[in-house]
Chains A and B, each alone.
Chain A
Amino acid sequence: MSNGPLEIKAISGHAGPVPGRDTSRDYDVAKLIDVTTCIGCKACEVACLEWNGYPFRETVFDNTYQTMPDLEWNYYNLIRFNEHVADDGTLSWLMRKDGCLHCADPGCLRACPSDGAIVQYSNGIVDFQQDYCIGCQYCVTGCPFNIPRFNPETKKVHKCTLCSDRVGAGLEPACIKACPTGCLHFGSKDDMKDLAEKRATQLREHSSHKNAGVYDPPGVGGTHVMYVLHDIDNPERYGGLPKDPQVPLSVRFWKGPLKWLGNVAMVGGILGVALHYLRYGPKNVDDEPQDIGEPK
């Protein structure tokens, strides 16, 4: 990994050009999660809490392996346990580490109105800068994966940072370091794609998972957290992983055409009334009574 400072290539809510726009200085980093070798030990969850200095949250026991019911503002990654019964009656116990996927085209960053509250580094990491966060939660709306979580006390939104602090210092993310089965991998996006494809091929050829594949959804430009899934056609089984995630159409329309339409209409409206005044001027009042005989 690079030991240099993280270069920024995209900034939320930013007027004007971004220094280093679309640059790729070293290489994109990526995390690969091979769900087929995850044993649900939750070491990644603990490592995440430890590294980020958050205490364990209170939780409820719901008679399953699920430690926490959901992601929280200080709980960036969570293994989702799902039981799936296939048509032939076989049961699969699916475990998927859920968290931010660090999209190449991040819906959160597109939606964010606050300058610098969300940045995308040149290595592909999408990071929230809570100092600049205004708590509007537009990112929650923009995210196709339902990841960002709001802290109602501080009114800031949080999510997985892909340990940008560690990666910037040349280390792997904390969860990678903790994983005991080697189901988590970290490296350049190209290497991880390569590794993922190899693993998927291996599964297809040497196991009963004939439909194994790599989850790197193109609808969001690919992600910097990828999955190897047993059945690539049914990602929904893994606790609501969308099949074809997209930045919501309404968000793209809102941040695209509607913005332009609105700007043109507002500036045009102000110019229009100014021109109207120059052309027609004010309406003058007749001081002379025209209707003689009317009561005054």
Chain B
Amino acid sequence: MTGEIERYTYRERMCHWITGLVYLYCLSTGLAFYTPYLFWIAIALGGGPTSRFWHPVIGLAFFAAQMWMHHLWSGDMTVTAIDRKWLDKTEDYATNHDENVPPQGRFNAGQKLFYWAMFYGAFFLLASGLVMWFPEYVPAGLRWIRAWAILIHEAAALLTIGAFIIHVYMGVFTVPGSVAAMVDGHVSTAWARTHHRLWYDRVAEKTAPPE
């Protein structure tokens, strides 16, 4: 769906897909270390030691990409009063009674929740991940830190996985046009008006031809 309104700039799209790609790598190798039933993923991606070597390195890339994204989007992701109204209507949104949902800006409250889950998740993953990367530098007297780091790493990863499942599902299945928007950067007028009315109004005003 090639639309007429630019939704994501080239830089935003690059940032999104790079973050997504490195997240997917960390997710796959992480799941391999998470359960023996998925350890074959580590084998498929070059072997256990290889996966173990790259997981933390790519993890750093994920954190960096997340910070880049924050630089690009933190303004648009600020939670506002409109978002609180939207959150009261989450059930209506989930059951496709969108007529009851208040109009939204560039990102709706659900997207913002996903964004902040990944943003704060990245900090927890980085801090606990560094301990897991270099456990030999943790003094023996503070060994409990290593054990808790693993627990925190896993809990934070599970949080991002939950958010990620919903993100991919929403993007690919429930909101047609989202993937195209993230690929070529444009949406149709109708798409913009339906899903992000307030943003559409702003953009349309800006781009409206002078009368």
A284 to B193, CA, bound (A): 12
Q: Which residue of B lies closest to A107 (CB)?
A: B147
Pair B204/A294 contact, Cβ less than 8 Å: yes
Within 8 Å of chain A (Cβ to Cβ): is B173? yes
Interface residues of A in 99-152 (CB under 8 A from B): 111, 113-115, 132-138, 140-142, 146, 150, 152
Pair B135/A250 contact, Cβ less than 8 Å: no
Q: Which residue of A lies closest to B136 (CB)?
A: A150
Q: Select which of B36, B52, B201 is within 8 A of A135 by beta carbon.
A: B52
Q: In the complex, what residues of A have CB within 8 A of residue B48's CB?
A: 114, 132, 134
Pair B165/A266 contact, Cβ less than 8 Å: yes
Interface residues of B in 111-146 (CB under 8 A from A): 132, 135-136, 140, 143-144, 146
A92 to B28, CA, bound (A): 54
Within 8 Å of chain A (Cβ to Cβ): is B190? yes
Bits for A275-293, please: 1 = Cβ < 8 Å to B, else 0.
Answer: 0110011111111011100
Binds A, one of B6-14, B16-24, B73-81, B150-158: B150-158
Pair B96/A283 contact, Cβ less than 8 Å: yes
Pair B36/A296 contact, Cβ less than 8 Å: no
Bits for A6-20, please: 1 = Cβ < 8 Å to B, else 0.
Answer: 000000011100000
Q: Which residue of B lies closest to A261 (CB)?
A: B158
Within 8 Å of chain B (Cβ to Cβ): is A273? yes
A273 to B194, CA, bound (A): 22
Pair B94/A141 contact, Cβ less than 8 Å: no
Pair A263/B154 contact, Cβ less than 8 Å: no
Pair B201/A294 contact, Cβ less than 8 Å: yes
Pair B174/A287 contact, Cβ less than 8 Å: no
Pair B190/A15 contact, Cβ less than 8 Å: no
Pair B175/A283 contact, Cβ less than 8 Å: yes
Contacts A141-B135, A280-B94 given; indicate if A265 touches B158 (C-beta within 8 A).
yes
Within 8 Å of chain B (Cβ to Cβ): is A221? no
Contacts A134-B52, A253-B151, A295-B205 given; indicate if A113 touches B36 (C-beta within 8 A).
yes
Contacts A134-B48, A146-B140, A283-B98 given; indicate if A115 touches B154 (C-beta within 8 A).
no
Pair B147/A251 contact, Cβ less than 8 Å: yes
Q: In the complex, what residues of B have CB within 8 A of residue A269's CB?
A: 161-162, 165-166
Quote the shortest CB–CB distance from B50 to chain A (angstroms): 9
Quote the shortest CB–CB distance from A107 to chain B (angstroms): 9
Quote the shortest CB–CB distance from A80 to chain B (angstroms): 13
Interface size on B, residues (CB 8 A): 52
What is the predominant secondary structure among interface residues of chain B facing chain A?
A: helix
Within 8 Å of chain A (Cβ to Cβ): is B68? no
Q: In the complex, what residues of B have CB within 8 A of residue A270's CB?
A: 165
Pair B136/A155 contact, Cβ less than 8 Å: no
Quote the shortest CB–CB distance from A98 to chain B (angstroms): 12
Within 8 Å of chain B (Cβ to Cβ): is A258? yes
Pair A262/B39 contact, Cβ less than 8 Å: no
Pair B49/A134 contact, Cβ less than 8 Å: yes
Within 8 Å of chain B (Cβ to Cβ): is A259? yes
Contacts A250-B150, A285-B194, A295-B204 given; indicate if A13 touches B169 (C-beta within 8 A).
no
Q: Which of A141, A266, A286, A290 has the most CB of B within 10 A?
A: A141
Pair A250/B204 contact, Cβ less than 8 Å: no
A286 to B96, CA, bound (A): 13
Q: In the complex, what residues of A have CB within 8 A of residue B194's CB?
A: 283, 285-286
A261 to B155, CA, bound (A): 10
Within 8 Å of chain B (Cβ to Cβ): is A69? no
Pair B174/A283 contact, Cβ less than 8 Å: yes
A277 to B135, CA, bound (A): 44
Pair A262/B158 contact, Cβ less than 8 Å: yes
Quote the shortest CB–CB distance from B29 to chain A (angstroms): 10
A134 to B54, CA, bound (A): 12
- A13-B39, A248-B144, A269-B162 known, 20 other contacts, Cβ within 8 Å: A15-B35, A113-B36, A141-B135, A141-B146, A146-B140, A155-B49, A248-B147, A250-B144, A250-B151, A253-B151, A263-B35, A273-B173, A277-B169, A281-B96, A283-B175, A285-B177, A287-B190, A290-B193, A295-B204, A296-B189
A-B pairs, 3 with minimum CB distance: A134-B48, A273-B169, A295-B208
